[in-house]
Amino acid sequence: MTLFDFARGPGMFWATTIMVIGIVWRLAGAVLLARHKDRSTPRGDNRVAAGLRAVLMRSVPPHELEKHITFQHLTGYAWHIGWFVTFLFFVPHMPFIESILGFGWPGLPNQAIVMLAAITLAILLLLLVRRIVHPVLKVISDFDDYVSTLLACAPLVTGIVAFAHLFPSHHETMIGLHILSVEALMVWLPFGKIFHCVTGLPLRFQIGAAFARRGVKA
Amino acid sequence: MSATIAATEERAALERIAEGVARLASSAPEVDLPADERVRRAKRVFIEKTDARVALDLESCLHCGMCAEACHFYEGTGQGRYAPIHKLKLLRKVYRRELGPFRLIQRLLTRDLTVAELEQWQELVFDSCTECGRCDMICPVGVHLSRGVHITRQALTAAGLAPAELRALDAEQKSTGAILGAGVEKLRSALEELRSQGIEAPLDKPQAEYLLLTTASDLLIYHRSLAATARIMNHLGLDWTFASSGFEAANSGAVSGDETAQRQATQRVVDAALACGAKFVVVPECGHAYPALRWEGPNQVGRAFPFQVLAISELIGRELESGRLRLKPLGPGKRVTFHDPCKFGRKGGVIDEPRKALAALEVDLRETESKGTTNYCCGGGGGVFFIGRAAPLRNAAFNIKRKQFDATGADSVVTSCGSCRMNFAVGAQRNNWNVPVESLVELVADGLAAPGPATDRGSVV
């Protein structure tokens, strides 16, 4: 079995299995803990609406807060959008997407996607350097932060190398490495901070509803 | 008494309080515990307080650091260790090792909590955090950071590692029900002073619809606020009383994380309210007292209250809205800005009501850039005012606030919290800042118009 075959076959199967079981295990381990009862009388009864509002509005904080985090916000949005556009609109990815969903959509020009991937990679590396030197980030960062960033970079690096045919005699192996890099990200998802893709929106709802109980828009 | 004489007396009283605060640490009870017992007690609190909501917080952090950008202590010092999420590190560590879904792996990969870590975190969760909750407003995934800080405070307090000043306050309130020596005799003499001014100030009425609380800052410094509050209650024609068995609104345990002290202080007020059959308990201008009673109180005593808890500013706002309270304009020439006390505003939900009062007084309200839910803290909340070594941190936070005030061009600052006023007074003195800080209830009392019509109060709240 070649590396390519392993990546497309057992590798993908086990990565998917570990990811799904891991997500369920981690989520259940948190949300199935007991919940402390709050006996205070809530102010108003708009907690669902307030939770949904927080889900949306946390993306656009008030100006007086936003002006301190503009760089993080712009770079954060930029690399997430770049990463997912690269994944979802790169023409060579389409057969893979169609094999899962049963349908596909038109891709974007390859050169544009490669350029986008390179920009996304550059932003991720910039954020990695920032994490090392920033007075707050260097204090709060741990193994997970660096591994997660590198694993987010890996598919971009391997994808660009594969597309550019930098190793023409090992092209299939490079594609295999590219798939494996995605699988590594999938395996890491339940264990690292990338898990926020599962809990982020529910947590926004939770804090919006909690503050609404007190009559505060959060 | 003229306003000038009263202001001079307030300054003198504040200096006496400051001297008393400086001696607090020396009166703190010693907590002599072996290191492993401190760790055991802290871990027990971390575990008990971590429910599913807290767990979801701890599973979701991105380590983006944005919370630091909302923190006045980070903004004022540039020190990365003051990032709010860093303050939750011990809570997360215990959660991951003891409760988390991957605890078996975490126990293999990480070291257990140590007493050295607990000692190191004292500065982070007490000196450099007022639990103002501004960081709660910025987190992109919605981590409730101030809740995690408070749990860590509770853990450190259980381990005997709260700052000495807060331990002293807890010990005093547990023993006498009061803080800073403002006991029942101070209350009686303060009420006598009000009566000598012709202000009705009932104490221990057997039955009353409203139980009014007061607080050490009003009894010891801001007598005018106490008088103004009583005048407003009288003006509204309310059936009210103070109770000598439960008059102190301040709750030191709610600040330090000493749940025994918190529960006892809450129970005193609850018992006093039940004894006089109060339907409403009114919290004076004492920020932390409001969430301590309104939101945490029922959980402390284990049942919902048979009465409603109202902040005095909340009562004023609602009475204005109902038309039962009318105010004379103080004039648009009076340019003021309003400081939202974090515990009334962001932590309490009393944001619009003070502004209704200022609108009724027809003053020229000039809002700071950060207001309401994003308001900057005064820098001394959450007990930080009492921690001597935190003075440089308080000052750094005060200067952020001062710049916000100065940018409004207002001639004075109005607020509804005695602790914020004390912190501003100290900061103003240290930084030669001469903008007066006024009390909302005092302004409202100055603007009381002809008595409102006698109406059924059943629909007030």
Mean pLDDT estimate for chain A = 96
pLDDT at B337 over 90: yes
Across residues B79-87, what is the average pLDDT?
98
Nearest CB to B65; choose among A31, A140, A218: A140
pLDDT of amino acid B422 = 96
Tell whether the model's pLDDT for residue A35 goes beyond 80.
Answer: yes
Stretch B49-63: mean pLDDT: 98
The alpha-carbon gap from A211 to the nearest alpha carbon of chain B, in Å, equals 8
What average pLDDT does the segment B236-250 reach? 98
Domain ranges in chain A are 3-31+63-213
Q: Is the pLDDT of residue B454 over 80?
A: no
Give the pLDDT confidence of A185-200 residue by residue, as tens digits: 999 999 999 999 999 9
Answer yes or no: is pLDDT of A114 > 80: yes
**B152 pLDDT above the threshold of 80:** yes
Say how far residue B362 (Cα) sits from the centre of its chain: 28
Confidence of residue B386 (pLDDT cuts 50, 70, 90): very high
Of B138, B303, B350, the CB nearest to A69: B138
Inter-axis angle of helices A12-31 and A196-213, nearest 10: 20
The number of residues in chain A equals 218
A residues 198-217 near B, CB within 8 Å? 199-200, 202-208, 210-211, 214-217
pLDDT of B460 > 50? The answer is: no
Residue by residue, DSSP assigns chain A as --HHHHIIIIIHHHHHHHHHHHHHHHHHHHHTS------SPPSSS-HHHHHHHHHHHTTS--HHHHHHHHHHHHHHHHHHHHHHHHHHHBGGGHHHHHHHHS-----B-HHHHHHHHHHHHHHHHHHHHHHHHSTTHHHH--HHHHHHHHHHHHHHHHHHHHHTTSSGGGHHHHHHHHHHHHHHHHHHTTTSGGGHHHHHHHHHHHHHHHHHHTT---
Q: Do B141 and A34 touch (CB under 8 A)?
A: no
In this predicted structure, the answer to whether residue A27 has a pLDDT above a threshold of 60 is yes
Spatial contact of B284 and B229, defined as CB atoms under 8 Å apart: yes
Share of chain B above pLDDT 90, in %: 94
Nearest CA in chain B to A70: B66
CA closest to A44 among chain B residues = B349
Rounded percentage of chain B residues whose pLDDT exceeds 70: 97
pLDDT at B457: 54
B103: nearest CA in chain A? A29
Domains and CATH numbers, chain B: 35-159 (1.10.1060), 175-320 (1.20.1050), 322-446 (3.40.50)
What average pLDDT does this structure show over A39-48?
A: 90
| pLDDT score, position B5 | 81
Confidence of residue B2 (pLDDT cuts 50, 70, 90): confident
pLDDT recorded at residue B458: 47
* Chain A positions in Cβ-Cβ contact with residue B62 (cut-off 8 Å): 193, 196
**Residue A110 clears pLDDT 80, i.e. is over it:** yes
CATH of domain A3-31+63-213: 1.20.950.20
Residues of A in contact with B140 (CB under 8 A): 58-59, 76, 200
Residues of B in contact with A210 (CB under 8 A): 53, 144
Alpha carbon A213 to chain centroid, angstroms: 31
Return d(Cα B264, Cα B277) in angstroms, integer. 20
**Residue B125 predicted with pLDDT over 80:** yes
Q: In this structure, which amino acid lies at residue A99? A: S
**pLDDT value of residue A44:** 75
pLDDT, tens digit (0-9, with 9 covering 90-100), for B186-242:
999 999 999 999 999 999 999 999 999 999 999 999 999 999 999 999 999 999 999
Query: What number is the ipTM of this complex?
Result: 0.95
Please report the pLDDT score of residue B459 as a whole number.
42
Q: What percent of chain A clears pLDDT 70, i.e. is strictly above it?
A: 100
Q: What is the pLDDT of residues A149-191, one digit of tens each?
A: 999 999 999 999 999 999 989 999 999 999 999 999 999 999 9
Rounded distance between C-alpha atoms, residue B153 and residue B162, angstroms: 7
Question: Residue B450: pLDDT above 70?
Answer: no
Mean pLDDT of chain B, nearest integer: 95
Pairwise CA distance, residues A96 & A101, whole Å: 9
Task: Examine the pLDDT at B296 and tell me if it is beyond 70.
Answer: yes
Chain A residues touching B143 at Cβ < 8 A:
203, 207
- pLDDT-based confidence at residue B461 (cuts at 50, 70, 90): very low
Predicted local distance difference test score (pLDDT) of residue B7: 83
Chain B stretch 160-219, residues whose beta carbon is closer than 8 A to a beta carbon of chain A: none
